[in-house]
Amino acid sequence: MGEGDLRTTYTFDFKDMGLRKIGSYREISAAVKVIDKKGQNYTGPPATSSVRFIKREEQVAQKMGYKVLEKYALILFAFNGSDLREQNRAIVEQIVERMGQFPTAEVKVVGHTDNIDKEVYNMWLSEKRTKSRL
């Protein structure tokens, strides 16, 4: 066998391999195969690592200490209603998924009602809407 230790860190350029495809994986595995100058082979056991795809904007924000602000589409309710409409479920599912990715993130829900009824009723309805579930 050859002499010397293997490096502990290796960097790969995933652009050529299809970055979007790799970003969709939950984990990847890699094994090291080494051939020394004498032609002797060594294949190490495969190692698995989880994949966390970070958009460049998020990465810069994290390095700079910026807050990342995300806004989602308007969710409309039926008059005097607090049940989610079918077309809004996808939006809420996306928000819930995103919250799961960043459990320490601060979430602010902003809601409005019309001004037809009394303020007390409109406040109650607004609160009921913010607590709507799938």
pLDDT of residue 26: 76
Domain boundaries, the chain: 14-53, 58-130
Instruction: Say yes or no to pLDDT of 60 above 70.
Output: no
b/e map of 37-62 (b: 16 or more CB within 10 Å)? eeeeeeeeeeeeeeeeeeeeeeeeee
pLDDT of 65 above 70: no
The tokens describing 8, both together, are 């502990």
pLDDT at 121: 92
The domain defined by 58-130 carries CATH number 3.30.1330.60: yes
Dist CA 59 CA 70 (whole Å): 15
Closest CA to 117 of 129, 125, 128, 105: 125
Q: What is the pTM of this model?
A: 0.43
Report pLDDT for 120.
92
Question: In this structure, are strands 33-35 and 41-43 parallel, antiparallel, or unpaired?
Answer: antiparallel
